[in-house]
Amino acid sequence: MKGILKQSLWVLCSFGIIAATAVAQEKEFDGTLRIGGSTTLLPVIADCASQFMEKYDTWNKIDPSLPNKKILVFVTGGGSGFGINAAINHTVEIGMSSRDLKAEEKTKLGDYREFLVSKDCLAFAVNKKNPLAKLDNLTAQDIVKIYSGEAKNYSDVRKDLGAKPILVQMRDMAGGSTEMIKTMIMKNANFTPHAVQVPSQGANLKKVEANVSAITYISSVIALQSDKLKVFKYEGTEPSNANAVSGKYTLTRPLILIVKGTPSKAAQLFIDFVLNDGQKIIVEHGYVPVKEMN
């Protein structure tokens, strides 16, 4: 009887050791850092990741307590909503967002960290050959008329613009920019069901550059770098970096990195890189460095 009991205890202990080892192996850092979300931040953070990997190569070269494993930083888009939800679900270690967090998202994140990387303006833009390019300024009332579908032709915005049909272009509902337009401008008005939805800021830019009938909302930094687009003032104010910093432009967005809980050592090292060496990269992409926002 004692022999059987001893054997059973040995089996249980062995099973416990195996299970604990499996958990440890499961949690062991494999050298990979996953980041996802805002397509506005995507090219900037992807560039930061590329230079971070090139500079350090292996994790132990940054911090001797980390393993001698090759640094792999994967950066994907999907939109701000995806980035926040992926951070909540731990699908990514770092979520990217180009909008403020909602109250319910903060609740789901619980204890979380938020890191401001930069700011930009959400601007309205058209191809320079679009009839609307004759104007310099758009109002909230103009945007509601266009994006609700009330204004079907450009002459419905202003009579002398001609009867050319308006092609309404917008980011999909996962985009932080769409959330912002809905909350700050559209409010109780619905987006027209005829709007063309695009999955990223890159696709947004290409389509509006190519179509003389389209109007879109897009990152001011991305739009102003295009020689094919007319970028409008909104409510009389230019969508510039200076007006984003001062808050004078009302459609100003925070560009943020989000981590649920306390960042892992690897995640924190990458975030520190973005907030220090990476600020040069942010400026190269046309965005405002953090030091100018303090």
| Helical residues (DSSP H) of the chain, grouped into ranges | 2-27, 42-56, 80-88, 103-109, 140-148, 176-181, 201-210, 220-224, 241-246, 265-275, 278-284
Q: What is the CATH number of domain 32-119+254-289?
A: 3.40.190.10
Q: What is the pLDDT of residue 27?
A: 59
Q: What is the pLDDT of residue 294?
A: 66
User: Mean pLDDT across the chain, nearest whole number?
Assistant: 91
Q: Which residues contact 207 (CB under 8 A, 6 or more apart)?
A: 169, 196, 198, 214, 216
Q: What is the pLDDT of residue 189?
A: 97
Do domains 32-119+254-289 and 121-252 share one topology? The answer is yes
Q: What is the pLDDT of residue 18?
A: 36
Parts of the chain with a pLDDT under 50? 1-26
Handedness of CA 94, 96, 101, 104 (dihedral sign): negative
Whole-prediction pTM: 0.86
Per-domain boundaries in the chain:
32-119+254-289, 121-252
**Chain segment 120-131, per-residue pLDDT in tens:** 999 999 999 999
Q: What is the CATH number of domain 121-252?
A: 3.40.190.10
Q: What is the pLDDT of residue 28?
A: 81
